[in-house]
Amino acid sequence: MSLRKYREEAERLHSGSGPVTGPGCGGVRFIVSGSDEPAMMIRRVKTVLAVIDETALLGDWPQADQWRSRLPKWFVDACAPAMSELEANTWLIRWKKMSLKERAADEASRLWSLDNWLYWMEPERRAWFWLCADPVSPQEVMFTVDVDSWPFPWDDMKWLWKSAGARDVRNVTEV
C-alpha cells in the first residue's frame, strides 16, 4: 500500500479537504445513524484515524499493546478483550453451526477486539480512506470513503463508527 493515501487522508482529516488522486473506484457513501450527535462521532472517528495515519507514515507498525497508549482511551475501552485460543475455537465451532441469518445477527452484535480491528488497518490490508463526513440530520452523518476496488471489506470501518457512537452504518452508494 502506498503511503500517499495515508498522507492525503491525514491532510483531509486536518484541513477538512484535500486532493483525491490516483486510480480507484472513487467515493463510496454511507449513512451513519448515531445515538450521539453527529459532530461528536465525526471528531471521534477523525481522532482515531489521525493516529493510524501518523503511525503508518512513520513506517513502524507497533504491537497491539503499544497501540493501547496511542489510541484514545474511549476507543480502546469500546473494544472487546482479545479471545484466548480456547475462546476463539469455541466461538468458531458455534459460528459454523449458525444459519446465515444467525451469523449476520452475531456479526452485528459482536464487539471487535483491538487486535482484530488493527489487523484490518495495517497498510497492506487497509481498503478504505476517509474522504469526508458531514452531518445530514440531528443524528445522521453522510460519510464518504475512497476505495481502490469494489466490493471492499468495510466491517472495520463500521466498528470504528459504532465505537464512536453509531447505531447503524449502511452503504448508500453502489459502484
**What residues does each domain of the chain span?**
4-58+65-171
Q: What DSSP designation does 80 have?
A: B
Q: What is the mean pLDDT of residues 141-166?
A: 91
pTM: 0.85
Mean pLDDT of the region 33-37: 82
Nearest partner of 42 among 3, 16, 19, 10, judged by Cα: 16
Quick one: average pLDDT of 17-38?
68
Helix (H, G, I), strand (E, B) or coil at 33: strand
Cα–Cα distances (Å) from 67 to 9, 11, 103, 126, in that order, read 20, 22, 29, 17
Q: What average pLDDT score do residues 14-32 get?
A: 65
Residue 174 has what pLDDT?
A: 57
Would you place residue 17 in the very low, low, confident or very high pLDDT band (cuts 50, 70, 90)?
low
Confidence of residue 128 (pLDDT cuts 50, 70, 90): very high
- The pLDDT value given to residue 16: 67
CB within 8 Å of 156: residues ≥ 6 apart = 112, 117, 120, 121
With contact defined as beta carbons under 8 Å apart, do 89 and 58 qualify? no
173 contacts 28 by C-beta, under 8 angstroms: yes
| 136 residue type, one letter | V
